[in-house]
Amino acid sequence: MKRSWLFACLLCASATAQVRYEDILKSPDQDWLTYAGSYRGWRYTPLEEITTENVGSLVSKWVYRVPNSRTLQTSPLVYQGVMYATNSNSVYAIDGATGRLIWQYVDTKVERRTVNRGAAILGDRVYITTADNYLTALDRQTGALLFSKKFADIGKNTSSSAAPFIARDKVIVGSSGGDSGMRGFVAGLSAETGEEVWRTYTVPAEEGDPESETWGSMIGWGGGATWLSGTFDPELNLLYWTTGNPWPDFNPATRPGDNLYTCSLLALDLDTGEMKWHFQFTPHDTHDWDAQSWPVLVDIEWRGRMRKVVLHANRNGFFYMLDRATGEFLRATKLIDNVTWASGIDDSGRPVLIEGKDPTTEGNWVCPSVKGATNWMGPYNPGTGLLYVITLEQCGLYSKSLQDPVPMKNFPGGGATEEGGQVIVRAIDPKTGKRAWEYPMTGVGRMWSGTVSTAGGVVFAGDDDGHLVALDARTGKHL
Amino acid sequence: MKRRGSFEDRQRRFRQERAPSRNRKLVFRGLLGIVLALPLIAQHGRYLRESENSAIGDPQAIAAGAKLYANACAGCHGPDGSGGRGPNLVQRTLWHPLSDEAIFNVVRKGVPGADMPPTNLSDEETWNLVAYLHALIGPAAENPAPGDFEAGRKVFWSTEAGCSSCHSIRGEGGHTALDLTNVGDSRPLAVIRESVVDPSKDLFLLGQEAVVVKLKNGQVINGVARNRNNYSLQVVDTNGDLHLLYMLDVAELTISGSSPMPGDYAQRLSEQELQNLLAYLARQTLRPLQARASQEEK
């Protein structure tokens, strides 16, 4: 059966197929054309062949070993039977049916390596960003370099790890490096040439800039990295991008105030990069709780009328729902059981702080741990109407260093431990914000994989032993 | 500053330099080296570890080494390293890559039980020879190539030579033949030269076999086999489209023994034009080397 599908593909391929913006809008079907599968960030496939009945008999067909897998955080794209996996400064085009390498692109002259989270595809091109901030466009059939254009200076401590994101005729890129002082941004580049069309910074550069009053003396190095791609609402023409922690992570002495726009969700106009609204989950963060987790876009009924909302499971331990047109805060519920830094979220969306939970020189025990209550994985399944989030019940000791912060020295202003911990897959009903079911994973709580759900009613996750785990999307039953 | 001690001195220094204070940097460089070298090993057996000897990459040392090579080594290994009575030194796809130090040892001690004799060259002479071999085997971009870069650019893009009607560089040019954007960083100069003057050699190794595939359903595909083995086949056809095939579905696979590239460039281009073309190709890398190129020309 798989082969007949492949043949169907062969025939369509001979029409010199190109990935169009409209295809990404419709994605995913048999293809997976953007990091989270769709612009809505669902990580959901409508393929139905794998069901709750037959998933138990899945066997591995092939394994392709990507070199240097320590930095492998890629979500491969799939187009017409070819899988595009990335690692730092490299792309591997793999025959999806056989696991054989078709071409590889490895930029050996890049002086830095980072993790890399994936590629983007449009027309006949596959795009990646290199660790030293070049947008690189390759011919998708051969891997030949078409252009490589610099969009940020690595000398300013900015690196790039997020998968580039295609919307219409633009490639949206982010910035990494927020744990050692940098100025985060999101940039819209021309997909045709790589030229910059707009750039929106996430933190101010100097005194007098907008929001600079929410910062102190280390202004300009505030962080707010944008190391995860975002989601997109084509009707509102808005990009949804999350931002990372303020710097120095654990010692906030130099940055009194809310530190806008760190630990936030930004809604940016695709054409201009203009910030239509922002919502800060963790004002004045002191626990390295980046807001990097999917802004999942769904339309649901809320208090009697349909609302376009964005769902967000945050590292700080709460699960949020906002109006995605206006940024209006609608609701927050507890994502995990053990949250000790805030007693809840008030009506304006601000956390109600519990005194004395900042890092101290001796170390302060706080839940959740520095890894956060969740990370960037959280898919939605329209069949069940549930969101599936990997959560972590873990606490840690947060300590503060009194050393003066020096930007670009990989100095987070302290440190944090991660002790014990239990990973739990939780299904959340967006209508109520409550849990539908939960499945505690086996192992020591160190895994931090993503999840994918299918129209066949299966949720996939990985466990500590490196196994693929399949759960029933309705009940959480282990399959 | 040139540092030239005895071989033992260097060995000692080599060990000292791997003392804890530098461990992190070295481990990082080692890892980086391995990662960077992997794709290159597949092509021509690049060194896993670069020597810090000052002869490596030094044009004078390389030139002195070239003389030694022509007199003492070329007889068995071929004037361009392509082998003869002795092994091919350039296309070493099946070889375990040797470090500069290991090559030094082989040159000095020979290969016992084989025809490779020990030598009594001085340390300096031996390093000159290693520097030449390094340049011969290493990516063309790492070494100064004789010839004029700008003149070579004109040759490449000229209609007379016609290179760019089939080959592309940074998205410009034709797409029916191998992309050359990174040719300088992925092939030794000798291999580039060979590919220009004798294009039908080593097609399998280069992923450049012209094939005609007849499928059991009657479809016929003309193109270049990127990969093939007993089970599957990936072909880029003449339209530039990629076909992923199972050999089970293939009725007939015809592999052309010769490249579609004209085989007469040795006659078509003058020796000077060829040198210039090679100088241009040698500097084609993913990250442009223009600055360095213009420096060298001055």
Strand order in the sheet with A185-190: A165-167, A170-173, A185-190, A196-201
Domain residue ranges of chain B, discontinuous segments joined by +? 47-138, 149-199+261-297
Is the CB of residue A344 less than 8 Å from the CB of residue A352?
yes
> What are the tens digits of pLDDT across the range B180-191?
999 998 888 888
Residue A231, pLDDT above cutoff 50: yes
Q: What percent of chain A has pLDDT over 70?
A: 96
Residue A390, pLDDT above cutoff 60: yes
Nearest CB to A100; choose among B35, B227, B240: B227
Q: How confident is the model at residue A119 (pLDDT cuts 50, 70, 90)?
A: very high
Is the CB of residue A13 less than 8 Å from the CB of residue B242?
yes
Residues 141 through 170 of chain B touching chain A, CB cutoff 8 Å? 168, 170
Residue B44, pLDDT above cutoff 60: no
Question: Higher confidence at residue B135 or residue A35?
Answer: A35
Q: Is B290 on the interface with A (CB under 8 A)?
A: no
Omega before A261 cis (within 30°)? yes
Q: What percent of chain B has pLDDT over 90?
A: 38
> What are the tens digits of pLDDT across the range A431-472?
999 999 999 998 887 777 888 999 999 999 988 888 899 999
- State residue B2's pLDDT score: 40
Distance of residue A412 Cα from the nearest chain B Cα, in angstroms: 20
Q: Is B176 on the interface with A (CB under 8 A)?
A: no
**Residues of chain B found within 8 Å of residue A14, distances taken between Cβ atoms:** 237, 239, 241
Q: How confident is the model at residue B290 (pLDDT cuts 50, 70, 90)?
A: low
Q: What percent of chain B has pLDDT over 70?
A: 76
- State residue B96's pLDDT score: 56
Q: Is B42 on the interface with A (CB under 8 A)?
A: no
Does B39 sit within 8 Å of A106, measured CB to CB?
Answer: yes
DSSP sequence for A423-466:
EEEEEEETTTTEEEEEEEPSSSS------EEETTSEEEEE-TTS
Pick the CATH number of B149-199+261-297 from 3.40.50.720, 1.10.760.10, 3.40.50.10490, 3.20.10.10: 1.10.760.10
Q: Is B149-199+261-297 in the same CATH topology as B47-138? A: yes
> What are the tens digits of pLDDT across the range A205-227?
998 898 999 998 888 899 999 99
Q: Which of A83, A6, A100 is nearest to B230 (CA)?
A: A100
Does A96 sit within 8 Å of B181, measured CB to CB?
Answer: no
**Average pLDDT of A293-322?**
95
- State residue A7's pLDDT score: 41
**Average pLDDT of A50-79?**
91
Nearest CB to A109; choose among B240, B246, B285: B285
Is the CB of residue A88 less than 8 Å from the CB of residue A73?
no
Is the CB of residue B235 less than 8 Å from the CB of residue B227?
no
Distance of residue A105 Cα from the nearest chain B Cα, in angstroms: 9
Distance of residue A141 Cα from the nearest chain B Cα, in angstroms: 6
Residue B42, pLDDT above cutoff 50: no
- State residue A354's pLDDT score: 95
Q: How confident is the model at residue A157 (pLDDT cuts 50, 70, 90)?
A: confident
Residue B141, pLDDT above cutoff 90: no
**Residues of chain A found within 8 Å of residue B170, distances taken between Cβ atoms:** 145-147
A39-53, A388-402, B252-266, B274-288: lowest mean pLDDT where?
A: B252-266
| A288 is a catalytic site residue | yes
Does B234 sit within 8 Å of A100, measured CB to CB?
Answer: yes
Nearest chain A residue (CA) to B217: A7
Chain mean pLDDT for chain B: 78
pTM: predicted TM-score of the whole model, two decimal places: 0.82
Distance of residue A382 Cα from the nearest chain B Cα, in angstroms: 33
**Average pLDDT of B221-232?**
87
**Residues of chain B found within 8 Å of residue A143, distances taken between Cβ atoms:** 179
**Average pLDDT of A123-145?**
94
- H/E stretch holding A342 reads strand A342-345
**Average pLDDT of B160-172?**
93
Distance of residue A78 Cα from the nearest chain B Cα, in angstroms: 14
Nearest CB to A145; choose among B39, B170, B242: B170
- State residue B69's pLDDT score: 93
Does B171 sit within 8 Å of A146, measured CB to CB?
Answer: yes
- State residue B183's pLDDT score: 92
ipTM > 0.85, yes or no:
no
Q: Which of A140, A127, A128, A50 is nearest to A94 (CA)?
A: A140
Nearest chain B residue (CA) to A140: B242
Strand order in the sheet with A329-334: A296-302, A305-313, A318-323, A329-334
Q: How many C-beta atoms surround the C-beta of residue B185 within 10 A?
A: 23
Q: How confident is the model at residue B48 (pLDDT cuts 50, 70, 90)?
A: very low
Residue at A177: amino acid letter: G
Does A68 sit within 8 Å of B236, measured CB to CB?
Answer: no
**Residues of chain A found within 8 Å of residue B249, distances taken between Cβ atoms:** 3, 7
**Average pLDDT of A106-134?**
91
- State residue A113's pLDDT score: 86
- State residue B298's pLDDT score: 34
Does A145 sit within 8 Å of B182, measured CB to CB?
Answer: yes
What are phi and psi for residue A447, nearest 5 degrees?
-70, 155
Q: How confident is the model at residue B203 (pLDDT cuts 50, 70, 90)?
A: low
Distance of residue A13 Cα from the nearest chain B Cα, in angstroms: 7
Residue B5, pLDDT above cutoff 50: no
- State residue A406's pLDDT score: 84
Chain mean pLDDT for chain A: 91
Q: A102 Cβ partners below 8 Å, 6+ apart?
A: A82, A93, A94, A95, A143, B226, B227, B234, B242, B244
> What are the tens digits of pLDDT across the range B260-283?
888 899 999 999 999 999 999 999
Catalytic site residue from A132, A285, A288, A358: A288
Question: Higher confidence at residue A290 or residue A29?
Answer: A290
Nearest CB to B239; choose among A10, A16, A103: A16
**Average pLDDT of B36-65?**
63
Count Cα neighbours of A308 within 13 Å in the Cβ-side half-sphere.
Answer: 11
Is the CB of residue A262 less than 8 Å from the CB of residue A289?
no
Rounded to the nearest 10 degrees, what angle do helices B189-197 and B123-137 cross at? 40
CATH superfamily entry for domain B47-138: Cytochrome c-like domain (1.10.760.10)
Residue A1, pLDDT above cutoff 90: no
**Residues of chain B found within 8 Å of residue A67, distances taken between Cβ atoms:** 35, 38
A383-387, B41-45, B128-132: lowest mean pLDDT where?
A: B41-45
Tokens 């960077």 -> residue? B36
Does A108 sit within 8 Å of B234, measured CB to CB?
Answer: no
Report, in angstroms and rounded to the nearest whole number, the Rg of chain A calculated over CA atoms: 21
Q: Which of A147, A141, A163 is nearest to A292 (CA)?
A: A163
Does B227 sit within 8 Å of A102, measured CB to CB?
Answer: yes
